[in-house]
Amino acid sequence: MHCVGEHVDQVEPERRGESRDKRLAILGGDPVTAKPWPRWPSSSPATQRALSEVLESQRWAINGPADGRPAFGALFEASFASYHGVAHCVAVTSGSAAIRIALQALGIGYGDAVLVPGLTWVACASAVLAAGAVPVFVDVEPATLCMSPEAARAALSPEVAAVLLVHAYCTTADLDAFSVLCREHHVALIEDCSQAHGALYRGRRVGSFGDVGVFSMQQTKVLTSGEGGAAITSSAGIADRMEQLRSDGRRQRPDARPGEESLEEVGAVQGYNACLSEFQAAILHERLGELDQANAIRERNARHLDACLADLGLGVPLRRSQHCERATYYKYCLRLHLDAFAGRPVENVCAALTAELGLVFSPIPGVRPDSKQSALQPVDGQARDVVDGAS
Ligand SMILES: *Cc1c(COP(=O)(O)O)cnc(C)c1O
């Protein structure tokens, strides 16, 4: 059983007053802490200045008229690529859009299958379907919640054209094993880093190992602009196709003069509009500068929480994969020992924790055979193609 808590940035014991009502908060008692948690999402005066700059400019969109200054979209793309040590980044409206442009730029679509983890956010499967390919669900490792390399190997077939490897919740996936598997079988590797911005594997940032690294910048992710996403790659060809897919077959014009449109028609690829607005790009560009520091605080607090929980016997934290040198804790997860809670269902334990701590705790939502996820509820022709390879 798993529980997920929102952004644990500080964990401190609370002083208890004499008059405290000691019943569980869910039964009407006083919660163990009433201390406010750090605000999320967080911003700074620099974020506000960047937003005002966009507001007062006449370029709110990627294709707004050039005004002699670099667009925030281009600034963010350059800084996010360099943060990962890769040459290219294409910013998009969501993590789902990032997965879709990555697959399409790799030439993956009708007739192809893509391995996705059996426990992950539904968008991993629905984005594969949106690209015209079929998601094949693969079991995850219970201890890390990342896709199992052995199960992935067993799920390979001639139709499998890519692995969408998610670095899940509190760790990075086994990149050594998946790099070998994908190379041996001539299958593309797409790293989904939507839960692992800034995580390190063998000293390198995740997202830079696969053919493409994809990110969501939706509100719950550790780097966010409310909604948003990005795809990174070292390949100029893949980047060019992803850029055109993202912006209706157009490409940025570095030489646009003031007043001219910032994009030019190329038309080599039929795209659609998945462009990030300048407001979102401005937020991401500013917040990226604080990501490493915020991740270090989360990691320190998570390790402290791991140690406290080890003494209580109520559950075990997820295990880190070998070679994960910085975990980023999109959400703090633990596997509860439900017998320590008199066999109460996980939903009840989560509701009690939520009342006690003032943070939302929930079982992990996943694409599970017993779930109501739309990928598994065939409502149209697309969804009927879903293959369930998970046991
Ligand atoms: C959040 C998430 C996505 C989807 O991102 P959106 O921005 O909501 O489209 C995809 N994959 C994983 C692993 C995620 O956590």
Ligand 1: residue whose CA is nearest its atom 3: 95
- Do residues 188 and 163 make contact, with C-beta atoms less than 8 angstroms apart? yes
The helix or strand, by DSSP H or E, that contains position 349, with its residue range, turns out to be helix 346-357
372 CA to centre of ligand 1 in angstroms: 17
Residue of 145, 216, 328 best suited for mutating to test ligand 1, as the one with most atoms within 8 Å of CB: 216
Nearest to 97 by CA among 246, 308, 223: 246
Nearest to 269 by CA among 242, 307, 231: 242
Q: With H, G, I as helix, E, B as strand and everything else as coil, classify residue 206.
A: coil
Token duo for residue 223: 């780097």
24 CA to centre of ligand 1 in angstroms: 34
Residues 99 and 213: their CA atoms lie apart, in Å, by 9
Measured from the Cα of 220, ligand 1's closest atom is 1
Measured from the Cα of 93, ligand 1's closest atom is 7
Task: Determine the pLDDT at residue 68.
Answer: 85
Residues 251 and 243: their CA atoms lie apart, in Å, by 6
Tell me the H-state helices in 106-173: 123-130, 149-155
The helix or strand, by DSSP H or E, that contains position 300, with its residue range, turns out to be helix 278-312
245 CA to centre of ligand 1 in angstroms: 19
Peptide bond into 135 cis (omega under 30): no
Nearest to 371 by CA among 130, 121, 165, 146: 121
Ligand 1: residue whose CA is nearest its atom 5: 95
| Residue 10 C-alpha from the chain's centroid | 22
- Do residues 313 and 341 make contact, with C-beta atoms less than 8 angstroms apart? no
8-state DSSP, 383: G
- Do residues 146 and 320 make contact, with C-beta atoms less than 8 angstroms apart? no
180 CA to centre of ligand 1 in angstroms: 25
Nearest to 326 by CA among 374, 292, 369, 283: 292
Residues 22 and 30: their CA atoms lie apart, in Å, by 6
Residues 64 and 67: their CA atoms lie apart, in Å, by 9
Ligand 1: residue whose CA is nearest its atom 15: 194
Protein residues with CB under 6 Å of any ligand 1 atom: 94-96, 120-121, 123-124, 166, 192, 194-195, 216, 218, 229
121 CA to centre of ligand 1 in angstroms: 6
Residues 309 and 47: their CA atoms lie apart, in Å, by 36
Residues 191 and 328: their CA atoms lie apart, in Å, by 15
Measured from the Cα of 97, ligand 1's closest atom is 9
Residue of 100, 122, 124, 169 best suited for mutating to test ligand 1, as the one with most atoms within 8 Å of CB: 124
Residues 92 and 216: their CA atoms lie apart, in Å, by 9
Task: Determine the pLDDT at residue 18.
Answer: 63
The helix or strand, by DSSP H or E, that contains position 278, with its residue range, turns out to be helix 278-312
| Phi, psi angles (nearest 5°) of residue 283 | -65, -45
Neighbours of 173 (CB within 10 A): 31
346 CA to centre of ligand 1 in angstroms: 24
Task: Determine the pLDDT at residue 379.
Answer: 45
Token duo for residue 99: 């997965």
What angle is formed at CA 320 by the lines to CA 315 and CA 321, rounded to 5 degrees?
140
Q: What is the pLDDT along the chain (391 residues), one digit of tens a residue?
A: 333 444 444 444 445 556 889 999 999 999 999 889 989 999 999 999 999 999 999 999 998 998 888 899 999 999 999 999 999 999 999 999 999 999 999 999 999 999 999 888 889 999 999 999 999 999 999 999 999 999 999 999 999 999 999 999 999 999 999 999 999 999 999 999 999 999 999 999 999 999 999 999 999 999 999 999 999 999 999 999 999 999 999 999 888 898 898 899 998 899 999 999 999 999 999 999 999 999 999 999 999 999 988 888 888 888 888 999 999 999 999 888 888 888 899 999 999 999 999 999 998 876 555 556 665 554 444 444 444 544 4
Measured from the Cα of 168, ligand 1's closest atom is 13
Task: Determine the pLDDT at residue 373.
Answer: 62
| Order of strands across the sheet that contains 324-326 | 204-205, 200-201, 324-326
Residues 357 and 351: their CA atoms lie apart, in Å, by 10
